[in-house]
Amino acid sequence: MEEKVVYFNKEGKENTDDVINLVKSRLDKSDNINYIVIASASGNSALRLANKINGNAEIINITHHAGFHNPNELDISEEMLDKLNENGVYTFIGSHALSGVGRGITNKFGGVNPTEIIAETLRMFSHGIKVCGEIAIMAADAGLIPTNEDIIAIGGRGSGLDSAAVIKPANMTNVFDLRFHEIICMPRP
């Protein structure tokens, strides 16, 4: 098998359209990818993806948990949740698999926990690649994607997209079964 990997000169939202086009191209070549998980806090990138792929895979949008930026507030609006739902995109709202409570402990007491080591290791590739693995775990833990077939995961840093990968997901309890089978695109660190 031979596939092209696209490397962006820098991370960031200016890569979003290219990432979506590359994911569509990879999806069009596959007859066995049925799910795409995408990290889109506001929902804008997930909506753009839905409009691009026209129902060729089930899209699960992963957004921040309530309180990520402001106490008890979501980063995604009710209006956007409705738009995504109308376009067949399910949105999962939950704690980050590779930080969650562990980050709260580190923030309070200092030090490093094992989950942060996993996250930092994935960030050695790119922040977006770390996000791809993280959202695959989150969607699998919610029962939204299977752990026995490849999916496409899309992520970035801050806002927008800059990374995509074909991944065999794993549940949190079996995190080391997670497999990155292909990198579709990522920024150069």
Query: Residue 138 pLDDT more than 90?
Result: yes
Question: Angle at Cα 187 formed by Cα 18 and Cα 106, nearest 5°?
Answer: 125
Cβ proximity of 173 and 147 under 8 Å: no
Higher pLDDT, 110 or 148: 148
Rounded to two decimals, the pTM is 0.92
Question: Is residue 80 in some structural domain?
Answer: yes
Does an H or E element contain 65, and which?
Answer: none
Question: Is residue 143 in some structural domain?
Answer: yes
Q: What is the pLDDT of residues 48-66, one digit of tens each?
A: 999 999 878 999 999 987 7
Domains of the chain: total:
1
**DSSP strand E in 47-169: where?**
58-63, 89-93, 151-155, 163-168
* CA-to-CA separations, 10 to 75, 141, 180, in angstroms, rounded: 25, 31, 21
pLDDT band at 46 (very low <50, low <70, confident <90, very high): very high
Tokens of 114: 């094992």
Strands 163-168 and 179-187: antiparallel
Backbone angles phi, psi at 72, to 5 degrees: 65, 10
pLDDT at 58: 97
Question: Is residue 1 in some structural domain?
Answer: no
pLDDT at 115: 85
**Domain membership of residue 66 as a residue range:** 6-187
Q: What is the pLDDT of residues 72-123, one digit of tens each?
A: 888 888 999 999 999 999 999 988 877 777 777 887 888 788 888 888 889 8
Query: Residue 140 pLDDT more than 90?
Result: yes
**CATH, residue 55:** 3.40.1380.20
pLDDT at 155: 97
Question: Is residue 68 in some structural domain?
Answer: yes
pLDDT band at 187 (very low <50, low <70, confident <90, very high): very high
pLDDT at 166: 98
